[in-house]
Structure 1
């Protein structure tokens, strides 16, 4: 099976730099902002905000509690992007490889968050991660709402 890519873009009114900084340097704060989708984020090894650090996530997706262990594979300050590679967890029961890119284009008050996932299915009957793309939209909107209140 070949690698496949899916992308979703969400316009946000909150600060794109703050959004990028949250995913890069403060992912442990995400659960307090999005408690209905992400319940926990703990650092497992390395320094948070650095390439090579490992994070453990508890999240709620498709009506079930899920877990994921991710490696921060790349941080690009110029592009305001962070890349997470899934090392362990529920996603790897369906996909051989799963990589998540979160990228922010900032243009004053008009900011665009782009979530791109690269994945390789374990078998042809595994569905595409469409519900996960909806999950990322909800997480993004929860973060936007939180930041607009501050």
Structure 2
């Protein structure tokens, strides 16, 4: 069993695809208002929203437990609608030596897709892949879609 891994999930969306990049790059603190049962807080500790090197902190519920995360913004590309967060502290670090989460929005004609990629290195082979974290990301994506579909 490999210690490193990569999960990728893609969802087709009907609403304005730019909304997803804007929320996750520049307004992730709004997630706590939109999904209070899942995202309890999301704040900026250093830097500016949507700026590489900035540090963010959040609390969320995963698998019925309240968790915290501290992450850096590792990449932002407004032209390709991409943002990558690298976890540097928090509950995920009890399972993974490294974990990065990337959101990218793609538009192909009338088709719009939100793609989540999680790259990670487990602390041991017995650690599960972060499927529940991916499920959480997809749940939030579907929730945003439902709120913004016109």
Sort the TM-score into its range (normalised by shorter chain). over 0.9
Q: Distance in 1 between matches of 2:3 and 2:80?
A: 26
Q: Which runs of 5+ in 2 are unaligned?
A: none
Partner of 2:29: 28
Q: Distance in 2 between matches of 1:56 and 1:109?
A: 35
2:124 pairs with 1:126: no
**TM-score calculated relative to the size of structure 1:** 0.93
2:61 pairs with 1:98: no
2:137 pairs with 1:144: no
Q: Which runs of structure 2 are paired with 1:71-82 in the superposition (5 Å)?
A: 71-82=72-83
Q: Distance in 2 between matches of 1:94 and 1:43?
A: 24
How far the C-alpha of 1:112 sits from its partner, in A, is 0.7
Number of aligned residue pairs: 149
How far the C-alpha of 1:84 sits from its partner, in A, is 0.2
Shift >3 Å, 4+ stretches: none
How far the C-alpha of 1:145 sits from its partner, in A, is 1.3
2:12 pairs with 1:11: yes
**TM-score calculated relative to the size of structure 2:** 0.93
2:48 pairs with 1:47: yes
Q: Which runs of 5+ in 1 are unaligned?
A: none
